[in-house]
C-alpha cells in the first residue's frame, strides 16, 4: 500500500492528471486511477469520492485530486472522515500541508497553476513528512 496513490479529477484536470501519472510512474508508484479519462464534461464528485474512499480504506497511502479551481474537489473529499485535503498553489504550501497538517490528499487548482508547478507540488507533497509534535495535537482535533 505504501507506494499506491489514488488520483481523480474532472475534465479540467485531465491533462494534468496524465502528467502527474507519468511522474508517479517514474518514481515507482502504483496508481489507482479513478478517472476521468477524457476531456468530456463530467461531475468531479463522481471521480474524487473514490479517491477519498481508497485513502480511508488504506488502499492508497494518499490521494491527488484536480479540478479547475481545486475547491470543488477539496470540499468533496474533505467530507470523508479521516481525509485531510489541502488546496495548494505553491510547492511551499504543499510542504506545509504535509508538515503541519498531515494532509493525505493534495488538491490542485489546474486553472491557476502551471503544469510544472503542479508537478513540483506533487513531488513536495510526496517527499515531505509530517512533523508531529504540537501539530499532532491539532490534527487530532480535526475529525468530528
Place of cell 486511477: 33
134 annotated to bind ligand: yes
- Note if 62 is an active site residue: no
70 annotated to bind ligand: yes
- Note if 100 is an active site residue: yes
Q: Which of 9, 62, 67, 88 is catalytic?
A: 67
137 annotated to bind ligand: no
Rounded distance, CA 6 to CA 92, Å?
22
Place of cell 500541508: 97
35 annotated to bind ligand: no
Tell me if 10 sits within 8 A of 36, measured CB to CB: yes
84 annotated to bind ligand: no
Rounded distance, CA 59 to CA 36, Å?
19
Residues of the binding site: 10-11, 68-72, 101, 111, 134, 138
Residues of the binding site for D-ribulose 5-phosphate: 10-11, 68-72, 101, 111, 134, 138
Q: Give catalytic residues, as residue numbers.
A: 67, 100
Amino acid at each position: 500500500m505504501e507506494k499506491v496513490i489514488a488520483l481523480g479529477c474532472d475534465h479540467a484536470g485531465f491533462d494534468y492528471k496524465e502528467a502527474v501519472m507519468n511522474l508517479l510512474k517514474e518514481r515507482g508508484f502504483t496508481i489507482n486511477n479513478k478517472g476521468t479519462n477524457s476531456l468530456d464534461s463530467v461531475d468531479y464528485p463522481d471521480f474524487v469520492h473514490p479517491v477519498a474512499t481508497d485513502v480511508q480504506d488504506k488502499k492508497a497511502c494518499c490521494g491527488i485530486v484536480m479540478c479547475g479551481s481545486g475547491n470543488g474537489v477539496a470540499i468533496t473529499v474533505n467530507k470523508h472522515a479521516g481525509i485531510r485535503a489541502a488546496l495548494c498553489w505553491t510547492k511551499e504550501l504543499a510542504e506545509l500541508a504535509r508538515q503541519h497538517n498531515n494532509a493525505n490528499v493534495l488538491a490542485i487548482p489546474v486553472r491557476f497553476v502551471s503544469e510544472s508547478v503542479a508537478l513540483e507540488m506533487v513531488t513536495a507533497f510526496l517527499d515531505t513528512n509530517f512533523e508531529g509534535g504540537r501539530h499532532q495535537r491539532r490534527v487530532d482535533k480535526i475529525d468530528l
